[in-house]
Amino acid sequence: MSDLLERLRGRGWRMTAQRRVVAEVLDGDHVHLTADEVHARAVAKLPEISRATVYNTLGELVSLGEVLEVATDRRAKRYDPNAHRPHQHLVCARCGAIRDVHPAGNPLADLPDSERFGFVVSAVEVTYRGVCPNCAGA
Amino acid sequence: MSDLLERLRGRGWRMTAQRRVVAEVLDGDHVHLTADEVHARAVAKLPEISRATVYNTLGELVSLGEVLEVATDRRAKRYDPNAHRPHQHLVCARCGAIRDVHPAGNPLADLPDSERFGFVVSAVEVTYRGVCPNCAGA
DNA sequence: ATCCTACGATGGACTTTGTCCAAGTCAAGT
DNA sequence: ACTTGACTTGGACAAAGTCCATCGTAGGAT
Which residues does B120 contact at the CB level (< 8 Å), separation at least 6? A130, A131, A136
- Chain C footprint bases within 7 A of protein beta carbons: 7-12, 16-21, 26-28
A74 touches strand D (CB under 7 A): yes
> Is B138's pLDDT higher than 70?
no
Matching fold, domains B3-80 and B88-137: no
Asked whether the beta carbons of residue A121 and residue B90 sit closer than 8 angstroms, the reply is: yes
Residue pLDDT, tens place only, A68-98: 999 998 899 999 999 988 999 999 999 999 9
Identity of the residue numbered B70: V
Query: How many Å apart are CA B31 and CA B11, to the nearest integer?
Result: 23
Domain ranges for chain A: 3-80, 88-133
- In whole angstroms, give the CA distance from residue B20 to residue B16: 6
CATH class, range A88-133: alpha beta
Q: Which option is the CATH number for A3-80: 1.10.10.10, 2.60.260.20, 3.40.630.30, 3.90.79.10?
A: 1.10.10.10
Q: Which of these CATH numbers, 1.10.940.10, 3.40.50.10490, 3.30.565.10, 3.30.1490.190, describes B88-137?
A: 3.30.1490.190
pLDDT for the residue B6? 84
Q: Widest CA span of chain B, in angstroms?
A: 55
Instruction: Express each pLDDT in B107-126 by its tens digit.
Output: 899 999 999 999 999 999 99
For B46-93, the DSSP string reads: -TT--HHHHHHHHHHHHHTTSSEEE-SSSSS-EEES--SS--EEEEET
At B52, the amino acid letter reads: A
Chain A residues with CB under 8 Å of a chain B CB are 69, 71, 74, 77, 90, 92-93, 99, 101-105, 107-108, 110-112, 115-133, 136
Residues of B in contact with A107 (CB under 8 A): 103, 107, 110, 126
Residue-wise pLDDT for B1-38, tens only, equals 467 888 898 888 999 999 999 999 998 888 999 999 99
Collect all residues with Cβ–Cβ distance below 8 Å to B119 and sequence separation of at least 6: A90, A92, A99, A128, A130, A131, A132, A133
Residues A4-59: tens digit of each pLDDT:
888 888 888 999 999 999 999 998 888 999 999 999 999 999 999 999 999 999 99
**Residue pLDDT, tens place only, B52-101:** 999 999 999 999 999 999 999 888 999 999 998 899 999 999 999 999 99
Cα radius of gyration rounded to whole Å, chain B: 17
